[in-house]
Amino acid sequence: MEGIDVVSEALADLHRRLLALDGGAVADYIPQLALADPDCFGLALVSLDGHRYRAGRCDEAFTLQSVTKPFVLALALAELGAEEVGRTVGAEPSGEAFNAISLDPVTGRPANPMINAGAIAVTALVPGGDPAERFARILDCLGRFAGRPLDVDEEVYRSEAETGDRNRALAHLMRGTGALRGDPAEAVETYFRQCAVRATVADLAVMAATLANGGVNPVTGEAVVPEPVAVAVLAVMATCGMYDAAGEWMLRVGLPAKSGVSGGLVAVSPARFGVAVHSPPLDSFGNPVRGVAALRELSERFGLHLMRNPAPGAPTVTRADTAEDGGTALVAAQGALDFTAAERVLFALGQQAPGPGGRVLLDLERVTAIDAAARAMLDRALTLLAERGHRVTVTGDALLRADAPGPLGRAGSRAGTRR
């Protein structure tokens, strides 16, 4: 049925109105970027089901620049772990511009991986026998986030390589403080190539959606990075992604995001979708004017701020009672169990009063998913009940059994009884 796509309609409306927005300036410190069309403007959104929505110019490739930073951070975290990466770069908003010399006076580490200094250090961490191999890894990883192979805009790369003295200086400084491994010149060349990787707004929305989806690309189904890595990257984006405008951004938009000097912007609504905008004119912080305006409106219109309460789901506990003779307590639950839902189930169980040695029936037939926290909580409660002499029966725990070591995870009949 056509004509009911209100998401695309909202994007089209934003596109139409914000195209008229002037202000900002196209970056020209990398000469090749100055050639960008200031009126090029596209918006795309990809849901965790892989549904795609778009408005404006979404198929024109542009160089991702700093928008690559969170994705290369993800690669480094996946390859080396948080501790190793944390020895090289901090996770504090610098409150300074993207190209600032933000090195900790004591440790010599750059403030965070979203500013140039931190990103150069992270790029240098990516394993590889030589620069070509290291870059091939980066390009491959960016392509897996996008769901298709990406390439490099050689002209933009050369243009930055010819003029990138400030970044070279940063790399040498970091070599001096010990934050940068290996050859500074090589680190910066790899970083310039990374910045010159090109993709479309449509690609970028898939990349953002992959972070929203715990590291699994919702279009290709590939697990690009482990879930804890995606969570860590989003946390760094939330605090540092918009440079010295990060606080205002969190206040007004409330989503993890990353901008770049070519006018790209990604924002992530965790567990919901990824969104990308491209529009070259930048504000004084180096963030794209139309992209910032679009995300402010989208966040407000669709209620996306991270700090908002989520919409209440269906009730978790569908039945809770104790038989009249006091012999058996029954609690039935439904839906996906996380901490909140498990707390409801356990609270309901706690309200029941089966006599000493009485039976406890926990009906999970209609539970659709359970996360590690909820599983551990239920396991612990069931162990305590068994220790107190109750006969506990869990039904519908097949889903829970898969990889769970505790009582809920015990192999056996579908209804496991324990005393």
Which listed residue (41, 71, 98, 249) binds ligand GLN by CB under 6 A? 98
Q: How many chain residues touch ligand GLN (CB under 6 A)?
A: 11
Least distance CB 163 / ligand GLN (angstroms):
9
Which listed residue (263, 286, 291, 407) binds ligand GLN by CB under 6 A? 286
For 16-153, strand residue ranges (E) read: 42-47, 52-56, 62-63, 151-152
Amino acid of residue 119: A
Which listed residue (153, 160, 363, 379) binds ligand GLN by CB under 6 A? 160
Considering the rule CB under 6 A, would residue 78 count as an interface residue with ligand GLN? Answer: no
Q: Give yes or no for a contact between 293 and 283, defined as CB atoms under 8 angstroms apart.
A: no
Contacts of ligand GLN in 49-68 (CB under 6 A): 65-66
How many Cβ atoms are within 10 Å of 256's Cβ, its own excluded?
Answer: 27
Which listed residue (233, 237, 261, 392) binds ligand GLN by CB under 6 A? 261
| Cα 197 to Cα 63: distance, rounded to the nearest angstrom | 5
Contacts of ligand GLN in 174-233 (CB under 6 A): 195
How long a stretch of residues is the chain? Answer: 419
42/354 with CB nearer ligand GLN: 42
Which residue numbers are catalytic? 66, 69, 191, 243, 261
| Cα 415 to Cα 397: distance, rounded to the nearest angstrom | 7
Mapped onto helix, strand or coil, the DSSP state of residue 9 is helix
Considering the rule CB under 6 A, would residue 260 count as an interface residue with ligand GLN? Answer: yes
Considering the rule CB under 6 A, would residue 345 count as an interface residue with ligand GLN? Answer: no
Considering the rule CB under 6 A, would residue 118 count as an interface residue with ligand GLN? Answer: no
245/370 with CB nearer ligand GLN: 245
Q: What is the DSSP letter of 340?
A: H
66/217 with CB nearer ligand GLN: 66
Considering the rule CB under 6 A, would residue 238 count as an interface residue with ligand GLN? Answer: no
Output the DSSP codes for 34-73. GGS-TT--EEEEEETT--EEEEES-S--EE-GGGGHHHHH
CA 286 to chain centre: 22
Considering the rule CB under 6 A, would residue 117 count as an interface residue with ligand GLN? Answer: no
Question: 69-80 vs 201-212: helix axis angle to the nearest 10?
Answer: 40
Considering the rule CB under 6 A, would residue 167 count as an interface residue with ligand GLN? Answer: yes
Least distance CB 125 / ligand GLN (angstroms):
17
123/299 with CB nearer ligand GLN: 123
Q: What is the DSSP letter of 32?
A: G
188/238 with CB nearer ligand GLN: 188
Considering the rule CB under 6 A, would residue 287 count as an interface residue with ligand GLN? Answer: no
Listed residue (72, 161, 82) closest to 119, CA to CA: 72
The strand pairing partners of 366, in sequence order, are 334
Query: Using alpha carbons only, how large is the chain's radius of gyration in Å?
Result: 25
Site residues, ligand GLN (CB under 6 A): 65-66, 98-99, 116, 160, 167, 195, 260-261, 286
